[in-house]
Amino acid sequence: MNGTFKINLSTPMGMKSGTISLTEEDGKLIGSLRALGHDNPIKNGKVSGNSFEFAGVLNTGFGKIEYSAQGNINGDALSATAKTKFGVMKINGTRV
């Protein structure tokens, strides 16, 4: 589960790239999402096997978007969806 992933994030403003860094500590997931030029800490992170979930606020530079994300890590591949008030954003990434 631990690592940094280069990601593509489908946002209301189009496809954006970034990174997500994740660390598992005693079943809790901590880390940050770097996208749109901003570091965004994750909160309420949980891990179960290869699955994870967390929430946060994505700073877009024009405003902030609250989200809750769920996904999986299989080997070096990360796949997730983030639910927002603007719809669902897809996140795909590869461990760096």
The CA distance from 64 to 12, in Å, is 12
Q: How confident is the model at residue 11 (pLDDT cuts 50, 70, 90)?
A: confident
Q: Report the predicted TM-score, pTM, of the whole model to 2 decimal places.
A: 0.91
**pLDDT at residue 5, rounded to an integer:** 98
**pLDDT at residue 26, rounded to an integer:** 85
Q: Which domain holds residue 59?
A: 3-95
Read out DSSP for 53-86?
A: EEEEEEE-SS-EEEEEEEEEEETTEEEEEEEETT
Could you give the number of structural domains in the chain?
1
| pLDDT tens digits for range 33-79 | 998 889 999 999 999 999 999 999 988 878 898 999 999 999 999 99
| Whole-number average pLDDT of the chain | 93
**pLDDT at residue 29, rounded to an integer:** 95
CATH number at residue 26: 2.40.128.120
85 contacts 61 by C-beta, under 8 angstroms: no
